[in-house]
């Protein structure tokens, strides 16, 4: 029989931290903390399997759940010494969601459950604090009303504002017991009038309502968006945790807080956190009150005038410090912990591996490894390769002029410039049009996720380092400044006022997420510094990886950048990009539009010197590392002149009439250029094009070597073949050119001729093709398009729907479709090797920089992956993780 409920508390638990699939992250870690003997309020976890069963059975619970919940609840009652719903000394509980992967803010927690008109009086008399009891009751009605009953929270906030105004009170802390009782009455009335039903008074009805709401929220729009952005399958489900309440809002010896065992922004090995005295639940992250620093050092450094926990509650702080050490050494990773202090007694409410910036991730991994806490392999596995992206981008130039108009908390590092917008919707809309935007909000909430994703940077005027904006931005690697209190935001007029300046929607600002500065206009940036922890981890990764990492580069700048990032060669140099220069495009067009071989040859002769120089530059930068050069590939229409002025220019250069050029344009028009006259088909029709390119490559190789430079072994790559025959013809032509150049220059050449495998037929015929090809490079962009019969340029329109309906697991152009396209790659590799055992194999699509695709390439035993320059470090780390069997 399936066990649906797992209890914890009183120094032991039925669950463990390695049961997160079943218990969710929160439930598994609550159980583990109990097992470690830490002070955790008792409770129980309803498993993720119940969630799955719930959705499989038309939102009905499995048999036996009710009885198991009753048994577990009775155990909690026994441990606490109070009964749920008891009119004298009631047990109150929290109902909390907890998915396998942490989904901050996606699911809603209900606190103080079990309160009603009767138990609130009991709570008042047991605690001797009527104000506290009614404060808890009004919190409960609001949370339960909003989350479970669907009465929008603004109704409650309006009432609260009105009552406060009536009483002449500004702060919640100044409200009296009677004031809260009045609020409670008004809240209940509001629920009655909104729903036509009274607020539920039966604690068991409340409990099941809350459990149902947690399971229900698994499929709400916010959760769906978050899951889509983070590739979390809907099938995982969430668990529900029901836990005895402890109260941080019972007076000044009470508090609630959030802390990290190391600094999540810098990675520094120092306790870090925020707390609030006399507060409950999400007050710390909600941005309603500004939280105080945990430690004295933090207080001094931030210049806060609030009293630190270290000073206010030294004994409890000491206890928390011990728990920090205990949890960190137990989990051997930086922990993000939530705690509450009730009447001087500390309770732990949550622990999990803390989210961190890339910089912090590197520092923590490297330092823990140096301290012998984790191995080099662990250190490599700890850093998410995709996150490194944050470090590879520019930071503000310290020399650049900056006009600082505001200051907030440095919540997520990196520099960002963009036009300000005041809503997530506008952020999405403008970003969709290719504009760079900075999202400016008083505070953010889960509904803003998509807009936050679209923004270059995020600025909020409220909330601390653990506010929603800060946590989400760090996860996304988006620069963020939060809690900039002096920035006055006016949503209605779409303006923000800061440092005496008023800015309106569309004005440009720059944020420095590492210092918290807000600046006017765009500020110059500097290249990233990749020394220190970064190079240390990369060094470890380089020793452990097997795959070589090359780059896709055609310009000297790209090649230099990629070399700086550690590229070990060029896997794809697209020669056509060399023809778009204004001084070259005319000759290129002249060549395409020529009607005779003679005409083409004369245009090509003008291109040869340019092309040769390009290769000389590249070979010099690459210093003997392998360079794979792809001969002309794109559909010719991409080069054709548009408008009359351009046509006239080409006609003049070619010495023909404009009418002839126009007629030729019509001749060349294709219905579907992507599947038309392109790739090696051009080389077959016009051999002189590839001959010129081969000559340029060979002459450049000799030129560079002659200077005493490193030997160059160019790898000449023929695109878009469908079988062996095309390669046979083109390879023979290339060999002939090589022999001619050798004769002319009196030098010997070393080179390889190979092909791209980017059409399903080529993959199938790989065995035969390998008789000619000395290497294969899998062009997985085109291979994906042609295997799916899906144009990358047109897919965006319906791809989201396909992903939402779970037809595709993700965008196949971002991460390789391992089942389909992957099968072709694997089959071609196998057939190619069977013919030529030492055939060089690599991949050069966008997938070369995607960690999951890199793992696939490792499994297939390819020799290298090639990716864009900025992804080279990501690929180096991902390749090491793949080698370690991630």
Q: Could you list the residues that contact Mg ion (CB under 5 A)?
A: 109, 338, 350
94 vs 461 by CB, closer to ligand ADP:
94
111 binds ligand ADP (CB under 6 A): yes
CB–CB of 386/874 below 8 Å? Answer: yes
111 vs 879 by CB, closer to ligand ADP:
111
Distance CA 833, CA 837 (A): 5
Q: From the list 41, 114, 145, 291, which residue makes contact with ligand ADP (rule: CB under 6 A)?
A: 41
689 binds ligand ADP (CB under 6 A): no
Report in angstroms how near the CB of residue 403 gets to ligand ADP at its nearest.
38
| Contact region with ligand ADP (CB under 6 A), list: 105-113, 377-385, 606-614, 706-714 | 105-113
Distance CA 682, CA 862 (A): 29
> Pattern of binders to ligand ADP over 344-383, x per CB under 6 A?
-----xx---------------------------------
CB–CB of 534/385 below 8 Å? Answer: no
Angle between helix axes 48-56 and 203-217 (nearest 10 degrees) is 80
Provide CB contacts within 8 A for 824, sequence distance 6+: 760, 763, 764, 783, 787
Cα 700 off chain centre by: 42
Residue with tokens 């452990």: 544
Residues between 4 and 33 that touch ligand ADP (CB under 6 A):
none
Neighbours of 224 (CB within 10 A): 15
243 binds ligand ADP (CB under 6 A): yes
225 vs 495 by CB, closer to Mg ion:
225
Q: Which does 45 bind (CB under 5 to 8 A by kind): ligand ADP, Mg ion, none?
A: none
Distance CA 250, CA 376 (A): 47
Distance CA 784, CA 856 (A): 15
Q: Assign 91 to helix, strand or coil.
A: strand
338 vs 590 by CB, closer to ligand ADP:
338
CB–CB of 228/804 below 8 Å? Answer: yes
Catalytic residue, chosen from 369, 468, 480, 573, is 468
CB–CB of 497/504 below 8 Å? Answer: no
Report in angstroms how near the CB of residue 554 gets to ligand ADP at its nearest.
48
Name the DSSP letter for residue 684: H
| Contact region with ligand ADP (CB under 6 A), list: 241-249, 297-305, 777-785, 871-879 | 241-249
Q: From the list 9, 24, 105, 475, which residue makes contact with ligand ADP (rule: CB under 6 A)?
A: 105
Q: Where are the alpha helices (DSSP H) in 408-532?
A: 424-432, 449-454, 468-476
DSSP 6-58: EEEETTEES--GGGHHHHHHHHHHHHHHHHTT-----EEEE-HHHHHHHHHTT
869 binds ligand ADP (CB under 6 A): no
245 binds ligand ADP (CB under 6 A): yes
Residues between 772 and 811 that touch ligand ADP (CB under 6 A):
none
Report in angstroms how near the CB of residue 260 gets to Mg ion at its nearest.
13
Among 53, 5, 18, 24, residue whose Cα is nearest residue 239:
24
Q: Is 335 left (phi over 0), alpha (psi -120 to 50) or beta?
A: beta
126 vs 814 by CB, closer to ligand ADP:
126
Q: Which does 94 bind (CB under 5 to 8 A by kind): Mg ion, ligand ADP, none?
A: ligand ADP
141 vs 651 by CB, closer to Mg ion:
141
Residue with tokens 């160059």: 712
110 vs 380 by CB, closer to Mg ion:
110
341 vs 392 by CB, closer to ligand ADP:
341
Report in angstroms how near the CB of residue 487 gets to ligand ADP at its nearest.
26
Residue with tokens 């404009």: 658
Q: Which does 246 bind (CB under 5 to 8 A by kind): ligand ADP, Mg ion, none?
A: ligand ADP
Q: Which does 549 bind (CB under 5 to 8 A by kind): Mg ion, ligand ADP, none?
A: none
Report in angstroms how near the CB of residue 454 gets to ligand ADP at its nearest.
24
96 binds ligand ADP (CB under 6 A): yes
350 vs 866 by CB, closer to ligand ADP:
350
Cα 392 off chain centre by: 15
107 vs 567 by CB, closer to Mg ion:
107
Report in angstroms how near the CB of residue 137 gets to Mg ion at its nearest.
20
Q: Which does 428 bind (CB under 5 to 8 A by kind): ligand ADP, Mg ion, none?
A: none
Residues between 559 and 618 that touch ligand ADP (CB under 6 A):
none
Q: Which does 261 bind (CB under 5 to 8 A by kind): Mg ion, ligand ADP, none?
A: none
Report in angstroms how near the CB of residue 32 gets to ligand ADP at its nearest.
15
Distance CA 359, CA 678 (A): 44
HEC assignment per residue over 395-409: EECCCCCCCEEEECE
CB–CB of 147/213 below 8 Å? Answer: yes
340 binds ligand ADP (CB under 6 A): yes
**Backbone torsions φ then ψ of 44, nearest 5 degrees:** -150, 160
Distance CA 171, CA 376 (A): 52
444 binds ligand ADP (CB under 6 A): no
Report in angstroms how near the CB of residue 352 gets to Mg ion at its nearest.
8
| Measured CA distances, 745 to 279, 714, 749 (Å) | 83, 17, 10
Provide CB contacts within 8 A for 833, sequence distance 6+: 770, 839, 841
Report in angstroms how near the CB of residue 98 gets to ligand ADP at its nearest.
7
Report in angstroms how near the CB of residue 199 gets to ligand ADP at its nearest.
21
CB–CB of 459/482 below 8 Å? Answer: yes
* Residue 637 appears among annotated catalytic residues: no
| Contact region with ligand ADP (CB under 6 A), list: 242-250, 554-562, 765-773, 791-799 | 242-250
Catalytic residue, chosen from 34, 369, 680, 844, is 844
Cα 217 off chain centre by: 23
96 vs 876 by CB, closer to Mg ion:
96
Number of chain residues interacting with ligand ADP (CB under 6 A): 17
114 binds ligand ADP (CB under 6 A): no
The token pair that represents 720 in the structure block: 């878009």
Report in angstroms how near the CB of residue 281 gets to ligand ADP at its nearest.
4
479 binds ligand ADP (CB under 6 A): no
The strand pair at 501-504 and 508-512 is best described as unpaired
Report in angstroms how near the CB of residue 336 gets to Mg ion at its nearest.
9
HEC assignment per residue over 328-352: HHHHCCCEEEEEEEECCEEEEEEEE
Q: Which does 135 bind (CB under 5 to 8 A by kind): Mg ion, ligand ADP, none?
A: none
Q: Where are the alpha helices (DSSP H) in 529-596?
A: 533-544, 556-564, 582-593
Tell me which residue has its CB nearest to Mg ion: 350
Residues between 247 and 286 that touch ligand ADP (CB under 6 A):
256, 281-282
| Contact region with ligand ADP (CB under 6 A), list: 118-126, 239-247, 383-391, 534-542 | 239-247
DSSP 763-787: HHTHHHHTTT-SEEEE-HHHHHHHH
46 vs 514 by CB, closer to ligand ADP:
46
| Measured CA distances, 667 to 601, 656, 660, 683, 684 (Å) | 20, 16, 11, 18, 18
Distance CA 351, CA 27 (A): 10
* Residue 844 appears among annotated catalytic residues: yes
The token pair that represents 169 in the structure block: 């009170």
Q: From the list 338, 568, 758, 772, which residue makes contact with ligand ADP (rule: CB under 6 A)?
A: 338
Give contact residues for ligand ADP (rule: CB under 6 A): 41, 94, 96, 105, 109, 111, 243-246, 256, 281-282, 338, 340, 349-350
By annotation, the residues acting in catalysis are 468, 844
């Amino acid at each position: 029989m399936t066990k649906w409920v797992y209890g914890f508390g009183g120094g032991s638990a039925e669950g463990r931290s390695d049961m997160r699939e079943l218990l969710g992250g929160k439930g598994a870690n609550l159980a583990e903390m109990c097992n470690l003997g830490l002070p955790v309020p008792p409770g129980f976890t309803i498993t993720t399997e119940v969630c799955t069963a719930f959705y499989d059975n038309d939102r009905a619970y499995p048999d036996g759940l009710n009885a198991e919940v009753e048994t577990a609840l009775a155990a909690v009652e026994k441990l606490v010494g109070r009964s749920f719903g008891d009119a004298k000394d009631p047990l109150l509980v929290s109902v909390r969601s907890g998915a396998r992967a942490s989904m901050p803010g996606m699911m809603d927690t209900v606190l103080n459950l079990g309160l009603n008109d009767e138990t609130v009086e009991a709570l008042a008399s047991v605690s001797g604090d009527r104000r506290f009891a009614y404060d808890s009751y009004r919190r409960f009605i609001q949370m339960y009303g909003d989350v479970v009953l669907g009465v929008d929270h603004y109704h409650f906030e309006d009432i609260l504002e009105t009552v406060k105004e009536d009483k002449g009170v500004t702060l919640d802390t100044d409200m009296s017991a009677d004031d809260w009782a009045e609020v409670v009455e008004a809240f209940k009335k509001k629920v009655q009038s909104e729903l036509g039903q009274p607020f539920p008074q039966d604690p068991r009805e409340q409990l099941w309502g809350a459990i149902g709401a947690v399971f229900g929220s698994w499929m709400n729009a916010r959760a769906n968006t978050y899951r889509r952005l983070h590739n979390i399958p809907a099938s995982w489900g969430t668990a529900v945790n029901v836990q005895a309440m402890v109260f941080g809002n019972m007076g000044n010896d009470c508090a609630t807080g959030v802390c990290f065992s190391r600094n999540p922004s810098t990675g520094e090995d120092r306790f870090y956190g925020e707390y609030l005295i006399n507060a409950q639940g999400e007050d710390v992250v909600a941005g309603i009150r500004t939280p105080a620093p945990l430690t004295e050092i933090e207080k001094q450094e931030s210049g806060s005038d609030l009293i630190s926990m270290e000073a206010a509650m030294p004994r409890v702080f000491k206890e928390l410090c011990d728990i920090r050490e205990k949890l960190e050494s137990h989990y051997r990773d930086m922990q993000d912990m939530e705690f509450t202090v009730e009447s001087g007694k500390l309770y732990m409410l949550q622990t999990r591996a803390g989210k961190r910036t890339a910089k912090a991730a590197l520092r923590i991994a490297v330092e823990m490894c140096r301290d012998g806490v984790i191995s080099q392999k662990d250190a490599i596995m700890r850093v998410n390769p995709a996150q490194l992206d944050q470090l590879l981008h520019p930071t503000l130039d310290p020399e650049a002029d900056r006009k600082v108009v505001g200051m907030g908390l440095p919540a997520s590092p990196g520099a960002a410039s963009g036009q300000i917008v005041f809503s997530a919707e506008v952020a999405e809309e403008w970003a969709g049009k290719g504009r760079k935007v900075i999202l400016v909000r008083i505070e953010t909430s889960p509904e803003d996720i998509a807009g936050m994703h679209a923004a270059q940077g995020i600025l909020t005027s409220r909330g601390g380092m653990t506010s929603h904006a800060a946590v989400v931005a760090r996860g996304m690697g988006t620069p963020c400044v939060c809690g900039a209190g002096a920035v006055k935001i006016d949503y209605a007029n779409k303006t923000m006022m800061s440092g005496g300046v008023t800015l309106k929607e569309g004005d440009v600002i720059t944020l420095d997420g590492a210092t918290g500065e807000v600046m006017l206009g765009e500020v110059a940036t500097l290249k990233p510094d990749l020394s220190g922890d970064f190079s240390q981890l990369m060094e470890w990764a380089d020793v452990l990886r097997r795959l070589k990492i090359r780059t896709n580069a055609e310009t000297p700048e790209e090649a230099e950048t990629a070399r700086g990032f550690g590229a070990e060669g060029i896997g794809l140099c697209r020669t056509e990009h060399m023809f778009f220069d204004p001084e070259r495009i005319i000759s290129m067009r002249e060549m395409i539009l020529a009607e005779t071989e003679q005409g083409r040859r004369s245009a090509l002769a003008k291109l040869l010197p340019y092309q040769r120089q390009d290769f000389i530059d590249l070979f010099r930068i690459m210093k003997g590392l392998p360079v794979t050069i792809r001969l002309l590939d794109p559909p010719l229409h991409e080069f054709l002149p548009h408008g009359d002025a351009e046509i006239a220019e080409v006609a003049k250069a070619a010495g023909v009439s404009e009418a002839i050029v126009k007629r030729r344009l019509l001749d060349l028009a294709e219905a579907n250029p992507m599947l038309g006259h392109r790739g090696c088909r051009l080389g077959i029709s016009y051999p002189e094009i590839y001959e010129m390119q081969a000559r340029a490559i060979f002459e450049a190789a000799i030129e560079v070597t002659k200077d005493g430079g490193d030997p160059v072994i160019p790898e000449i790559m023929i695109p878009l073949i469908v079988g062996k025959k095309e390669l046979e013809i083109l390879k023979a032509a290339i060999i002939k050119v090589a022999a001619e150049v050798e004769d002319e220059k009196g030098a010997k050449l070393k080179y390889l001729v190979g092909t791209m495998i980017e059409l399903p037929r080529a993959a199938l015929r790989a065995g035969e093709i390998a008789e000619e090809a000395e290497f294969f490079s899998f062009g997985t962009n085109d291979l994906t398009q042609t295997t799916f019969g899906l144009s990358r340029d047109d897919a965006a329109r319906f791809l989201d729907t396909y992903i939402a309906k779970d037809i595709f697991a993700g965008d196949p152009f971002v991460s390789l479709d391992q089942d389909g396209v992957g099968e072709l790659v694997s089959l071609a590799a196998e057939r190619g090797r069977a013919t030529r055992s030492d055939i060089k194999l690599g991949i050069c699509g966008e997938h070369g920089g995607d960690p999951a695709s890199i793992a696939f390439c490792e499994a297939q035993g390819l020799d290298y992956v090639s990716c864009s320059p900025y992804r080279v470090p990501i690929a180096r780390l991902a390749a090491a993780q793949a080698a370690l069997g991630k």
